[in-house]
Structure 1
Amino acid sequence: MQTQAYSTNAEAYSTNADSEAYSTNAEAYSTNAEAYSTNAGSEAYSTNAEAYSTNAEAYSTNADSEAYSTNAEAYSTNAYSEAYTTNAEAYSTNAEAYSTNADSEAYSTNAEAYSTNAEAYSTNADSEAYSTNAEAYSTNAEAYSANADSEACSANLPIIYLQNQSW
């Protein structure tokens, strides 16, 4: 298991997946699939709070739902859902935005990216979360989870490496 965390104003990189989370002035949370999971290449890129992901994107497995919203919330369970939001929140259950074994990139500026063992990039899922000044939440894939692998705090904040880090 090899996880790498690089920071350029809070950029977290990890191994083995295809999810990108772009955000600025926003937060990405996940639990039990925590944003940017272990064994996942997670990068957190953010500008005005955009969260992107591929192959684990907030669009869960076994479904085809797209939710485009402004000042709205998109919830999905075991569904392929895309949530494009502005000043909104995106939630997902059992398809945690960006699951395990997903190459997730979270690039952020003035934002925080927290992940734990499966980090918000869900396993074998396809979810994309585009947001501006918004928050992306997922149930069973929430941010700030225990045993998190990477934190990306932008604005020249220190990057803290939690448990499950292999160099």
Structure 2
Amino acid sequence: MKLQWFGATARKFLLLCLLGTCALLQGCAIAMGNKFTEMQPQEPDFAHIYFLRIEGGKTISDSRRDRTGAFPDISVNGQNVGSLKRGGYLFVKVPPGQISIKTLDTPTWWPAPMLSRELKAEKRTRYFYLLSSSDGGLVNPKAGSGNWIVNLSFERISEAEAVPILKGLQLP
């Protein structure tokens, strides 16, 4: 007996389900780019800033409890330099001088308050900022989102602290 349901209409339906699943997974906020391999070579007239993102104390958490789909965009001197997704990092080169760093208020994806840091960048120097978060207690009232964040920190760390973490991270 041949089942009619597995005809062209069913194949189209299955293809749409597959495409829909792929679209949903794209929003899972996990960095999926190239894995970190080495520091960018220093340039004589620039400073380098690396932004690192861990969650639940891990580069990519194995526990659902420690995951949050929320991620911020990072702004350097008012310019959006990218999204800092779970298990990811961003690299930016900047001229020396006063640098303003902020997490951008993206209501759908980043329910936490904006965080900002100031930096006086020097030529041929590397700076590292670690954003660490875990699920739990801060709700985004604007979006009515289910994204909750607790234990949020955005701090400058040393190169010695950053390198082992970077080895487990990927570009967004």
TM-score, normalised to structure 1, is: 0.31
TM-score, normalised to structure 2, is: 0.30
Relative contact order (C-alpha < 8 Å, sep 6+): which is higher? 1
